[in-house]
Amino acid sequence: MRCSFIYVVASYPKLKIIGNHCILLILTRFSYKIEEIQEDIYMAQLYYRYSTMNAGKSIELIKVAYNYEERGKHVMTLVPAVDNRFGIGVITSRIGLQREAMVIHEDTNVFELFLRENAKQKIDCVLIDECQFLKKHHVQELVEIVDSMDVPVLAYGLKNDFMNELFEGSYYMLVYADKIEEIKTICWCGRKATMVARIVDGKIIKQGEQVMVGGNDMYVSLCRKHYNDGRLGKEK
């Protein structure tokens, strides 16, 4: 215990020890630092991180990739071919940051793709954007990467579509994921946004093709109350 205490004090030389209160402060800051470091260390599990639109999913993926690569690790980034808003094989955050990614087509075997890339250089983490567009077999192949290759897989995407139904990829991520985490954002009213509304001619529509790729011009995140009553703002 004494060695640990000396290490903590040395880490914060400007802090003065004033009885037990200062010791508790130092230990609290030390614990926070440990938690901060561990945020970027992932066990070999399948992580499903979901949210509504404009919650920062893509920027979170890009950040995780950067943190791995900063430590000399190699990541494989993937995106379904259907997401072509900014070009094929490009992950783009709404603040403008981009990252190239390998494309998953409907008939792609993701496990075999991983094996080919892993043979070239060891892959330490797999990251997938827009995972709601995956097929059942894709999710099962991600599970195989985790269980057979002992590599963490982090998948980011929507959970519900504009009709408040699950996408195929979302459904099977909920079935197979080891850890499910919500990335939160808010409705215009300040409540947590849990719904994605499709907008046509300034009005919410709740029927149509499930997959219709679009951005802020077509979709908006709302709380359940305003999704149901169709209000898009205070004056509307």
Which residues are tagged catalytic? 130
- Cα separation of 162 and 46, whole Å? 26
180 forms bridges with which residues in the sheet?
48
Nearest C-alpha neighbor of 128 from the set 212, 61, 33: 61
